[in-house]
Amino acid sequence: MSVRLLLLTICFPLTAMFGEIRTYVSKDGEKTFRGELIEYEASTKKAKMRIARGKVLTFPIEILSRQDQKYVEEQGPIIQAKRSLSIDTKHYSKRTEKNKPAQGQWHFEKYDHNYIVAVENNRDEMLKDVTVEYVFFVERNRRQYQNKIEKISGSDTIDLVLSNGTETITTKSANLESWSDNPVMPSGGGGG
């Protein structure tokens, strides 16, 4: 089973854990409704869907059109797998460059920023081909100047996440510079 996760973070991770909202058609083709697949039990062939105003219904998929039954059978296990995953992120930064300015010169530092993303499988089944797509925004704060935001984005695939196991990936890096002034200190004696 292939699972695709989208991880977007500014201060905290957000993940889409359920299915898309789409229009479903009844078996006879006469009725339609909009809903979001939130769970599917393959052994009983029952789907749980969120419909208008957040109401949740559980029903056998045989009342749906053949095309919608196929969609539920394909997407249901993927949605179940996504719900069983938990994601944790840790931000890391490492200074890669620094100057030693004389008085009156600008102080300069350069940092590499990246994230470690841990994907934990809380199921009793292993998951294969878990793709994590990520977008992080890192802010560079420069006094007296505009702040700059660097974007870290990409994707990585974890071949296998064992049952009740955890796997990690490291994101690409963003390189940010920090400048601050190093004022000239007055020298000399005091007054008399």
Residues 25-42: tens digit of each pLDDT: 999 999 999 999 988 998
Residue 1 falls inside a structural domain: no
Provide the pLDDT confidence category of residue 180 given band limits of 50, 70 and 90. low
pLDDT on residue 11: 32
21 and 78 co-located in one domain: yes
Q: Which is more confident, 14 or 188?
A: 188
Of 83, 113, 139, the one marking the end of a domain is 83
Mind listing the pLDDT tens digit for each residue in 82-121?
Answer: 778 888 888 878 888 777 766 666 777 777 888 888 888 8
90 and 165 co-located in one domain: yes
HEC assignment per residue over the chain: CCEEEEEEECCCEEECCCCCEEEEEECCCCCEEEEEEEEEECCCCEEEEECHHHCEEEEEHHHECHHHHHHHHHHHHHHHHHHCEEEEEEEEEEEEEECCCCCCCEEEEEEEEEEEEEEEECCCCCEEEEEEEEEEEEEECCCCCCCEEEEEEEEEEEEEECCCCEEEEECCCEEEEEEEECCCCCCCCCCC
What is the domain count for the chain? 2
Of 59, 83, 107, the one marking the end of a domain is 83
Mean pLDDT, rounded, of the chain: 77
166 is in which domain, residue-wise? 85-181
Residue 190 falls inside a structural domain: no
In this predicted structure, the answer to whether residue 153 has a pLDDT above a threshold of 90 is: no
101 and 126 co-located in one domain: yes
91 and 177 co-located in one domain: yes
Mind listing the pLDDT tens digit for each residue in 47-74?
Answer: 999 998 889 999 999 999 999 999 999 9
Of 83, 104, 125, the one marking the end of a domain is 83
